[in-house]
Amino acid sequence: MRSAGVAWLLDLYGFKVYTLVGGYKKFRNYVLDTFSLPFNLKILGGYTGSGKTELLKTLKEKGETIVDLEGIAGHKGSAFGNIGLPKQPGQEMFENILAQELRSKSIVNSELSIQGDPHSPFTTHYSPIWLEDESQRIGQVNIPHELWKNMRQSPVYFLDIPFEERLKHIVQEYGQLDPEMVADAIGRISQKLGHLNAKTAILCLKEGKITESFDILLKYYDKHYFKSLHNREGINSLLHTVDCKSVIPENADLLTRTAQYQPEKL
């Protein structure tokens, strides 16, 4: 049965139905074209345990525009990111939702490049959107390449929080998870972590030494993120460090004050 027929039938039974003008193929082209738009991105960076996801929510409460990549992906981005969460969306669904989020939250303003010249081309300005610094792959889905490239060329506001403070936060966040599932996740990264480190982390976990176990894991993720952070072109001009004493909501104020004095991308 064609989509129009399905829509008619569902409408007959009382469902509110919308049909896509041009069909799903046209919608998918619209989705894919979205990721090539020159969005004005501000990247929230920081080592694991910096409370970046929570801080995005605080930024939203303060009136900033945010897109929660991990929320859309249904994954927290690490080897432990799917524990306690429902199944992730497929790649296509992830892209569809992400495109609509980006389009709906990026207010576009156009103005003449040369003031008062009617023959001058228009310059388009996109309002800033905060995104969390992510690997291109979030669990089983990938950030589309063009958007990922934009992210890697955008300013990064790095939360510099002491290791011990981040460790306390990560223990609070992950310490209540099923130990067996955490141990399985450690096993999946044992080669990267180092077999001895993985064995020790799992042993500590089984003995109830959660802090000692996560200490090993956090040091691994710090090295991994440091490499990813600095493996981008022009990092010296893109990186803006925000010194924070602890993982607290007030870090959002430090963040916005730092970002306020940086030029926006046109």
Which range has the top average pLDDT, 13-22, 53-62, 111-120, 176-185?
Answer: 53-62
Count of structural domains within the chain: 1
Domain assignment present for residue 32? The answer is yes
Domain assignment present for residue 130? The answer is yes
> Which SS3 state, helix, strand or coil, does residue 143 take?
coil
Domain assignment present for residue 9? The answer is no
Domain assignment present for residue 3? The answer is no
Q: What is the pTM of this model?
A: 0.86
DSSP 92-142: HHHHHHHHHHHHHH--EEEEESSTT-TTSPEEEEEPPEEEE---SEETTEE
- In this prediction, what percent of the chain has a pLDDT beyond 90? 70
Please report, for residues 2, 59, 179, 224, the alpha-carbon distance to residue 46 in angstroms, rounded to integers and kept in the order given.
49, 15, 26, 12
In CATH, what number is assigned to the domain containing residue 136? 3.40.50
| CA atoms of 88 and 99, how far apart (whole Å) | 17
Domain assignment present for residue 7? The answer is no
- In this prediction, what percent of the chain has a pLDDT beyond 70? 85
Domain membership of residue 200 as a residue range: 24-260
SS3 content of the chain, % helix, strand, coil (to 5): 50, 15, 35
Q: Is the pLDDT of residue 19 over 70?
A: no
Domain assignment present for residue 6? The answer is no
pLDDT bracket for residue 1 (50, 70, 90): very low
Q: Is the pLDDT of residue 80 over 60?
A: yes
Q: Is the pLDDT of residue 39 over 90?
A: yes
Confidence at residue 82, expressed as pLDDT on a 0 to 100 scale:
73
| CA atoms of 7 and 216, how far apart (whole Å) | 54
Closest CA relative to residue 100, chosen from 31, 170, 4: 31
Domain assignment present for residue 67? The answer is yes
What is the mean predicted confidence (pLDDT) over 115-133?
A: 74
Domain assignment present for residue 13? The answer is no
